[in-house]
Amino acid sequence: MLRQGDAEPLVLRQRSASGEAGRRALLLHGLGSSESCWDAFVAHRPPDLELWTAGLPWRAGGTFAVPERDDTAWITEAVRRVPGGVDVVIAHSYASVLLLTLLAELAAAGRDPRGELGVQGAVLVSPFHRQRPEDFTWGELPRFLDLLRLGAEDGITARSRKPMAADLRAEMAERSCELLGPHWVVRYLHAYLRTPFLPVHLVDLPVHVVIGDRDPIAPPAEGTDLAARLGNASIDRIDGCAHTPMAERPELFSLAVQQFLTTLPAGRPPAAVN
């Protein structure tokens, strides 16, 4: 249960409208990030693409923890709460692992995400994925904490409108991790450690993987391997880009999304929003 004073765990916002023949996308941020990580992409979005962002429980300043609920359930709820439905879900980092988990579990149960969620495709941005359980080692556990701090710094850098001193950026990242708390660290590791057991080869929903060739947080090789294992996947590798391609190279990221959209069925009518 939420504690008194906790923030609303799920907040949906419409960020752009589309025309009659447009498509609708839901954008999901990563661990300790926020909806603002998509601002540059919103500004450079493909034409006629209606965008919605979800502020999720694992956002910076979000709820302390919601331990009684599987995090993939928040993605399902977010998709179903968008008026008029969603054509494509675009998920970054931690959220991409959750979305992959959801798609793989639906496929294993013989359930089609097109019918279950109404989606026609998914974009996984900077995903984490390993093929074998033994690819994880005891010795790298401390490194995962360092990667979370680095991820917080990366997000701050990507969203900053002007250069920032390294010590200030590091201090802000540490504070972000403190606010996030240890519960979400454990849940990130739990999601990541499950990836070798996901039957990703059964996922036949069109999936597009987008990676940065200089990503120090989610190894680009993991994204490449994942795209090769998925049943119906394509991939874009953006040169000179780290962990947040939608913020670092929004024009190229938008082009990758636009090209993927051309492979999907026709879009939906505009959402009716009160």
- Does some domain include residue 2? no
Using the CB atoms, write b or e for 41-76: b if 16+ within 10 Å: bbebbbebbbbbbbbbbbbbebbbbbeeeebbebbb
**217 located within any domain:** yes
Could you report the per-residue pLDDT of 48-58, keeping only the tens digit for each? 899 999 999 88
Non-local (6+) Cβ contacts of 116 within 8 A are: 106
pLDDT at 64 over 60: no
The structure's pTM equals 0.90
Calculate mean pLDDT across residues 65-72. Answer: 72
Evaluate whether residue 271 is within a structural domain. no
Give the mean pLDDT of 26-47.
93
DSSP sequence for 5-26: TPPPS-EEEEEE---TT-EEEE
Q: How many domains does the chain have?
A: 1
**What number is the average pLDDT over the span 20-33?**
87
pLDDT of the residue at 60: 77
Q: Do the domain assignments include residue 268?
A: no
Q: Is residue 13's pLDDT more than 80?
A: yes
Mean pLDDT in residue range 2-12: 67
Whether 173 is covered by a domain: the verdict is yes
Check whether 3 has a pLDDT greater than 50: no
Q: What is the arithmetic mean of pLDDT over 153-181?
A: 74
Strands 49-55 and 11-16: antiparallel
Question: What is the C-alpha separation between 148 and 154, in angstroms, rounded?
Answer: 10
pLDDT, residue 5, reads: 45
In this structure, of 133-137, 165-169, 252-256, 268-272, the range with the lowest mean pLDDT score is 268-272
What's the confidence (pLDDT) of residue 1?
36
Q: In the predicted model, is pLDDT for residue 45 greater than 90?
A: yes
Query: Residue range 147-166: average pLDDT?
Result: 73
pLDDT score for 108? 96
Percentage above 90 pLDDT, the chain: 64
Query: What's the confidence (pLDDT) of residue 2?
Result: 39
For 189-230, what is each residue's pLDDT tens digit?
Answer: 999 999 999 999 999 999 999 999 999 999 999 999 999 999
- Let me know if residue 5 belongs to a domain: no
Domain residue limits at 164: 11-261
The CATH number of the domain holding residue 187 is: 3.40.50.1820
Query: Which amino acid belongs to residue 203?
Result: V
Mean pLDDT taken over the chain: 87
Burial of 221-242, coded b for 16+ CB within 10 Å and e otherwise, reads ebbebbbeebeebbbbbbeebb
What confidence score (pLDDT) does residue 90 get?
Answer: 98
The mean pLDDT of 251-266, rounded to a whole number, is: 93
Nearest of 123, 104, 115 to residue 202 by alpha carbon: 104
Weakest mean pLDDT among 137-141, 143-147, 237-241, 249-253: 143-147
Confidence of residue 67 (pLDDT cuts 50, 70, 90): low
Whether 3 is covered by a domain: the verdict is no
Low-confidence winner among 64-68, 139-143, 220-224, 235-239 (lowest mean pLDDT): 64-68
Overall average pLDDT of the 61-78 stretch:
78
Q: What is the Cα 183 distance to its own chain's centre? A: 19
Residue 210 resides in a domain: yes
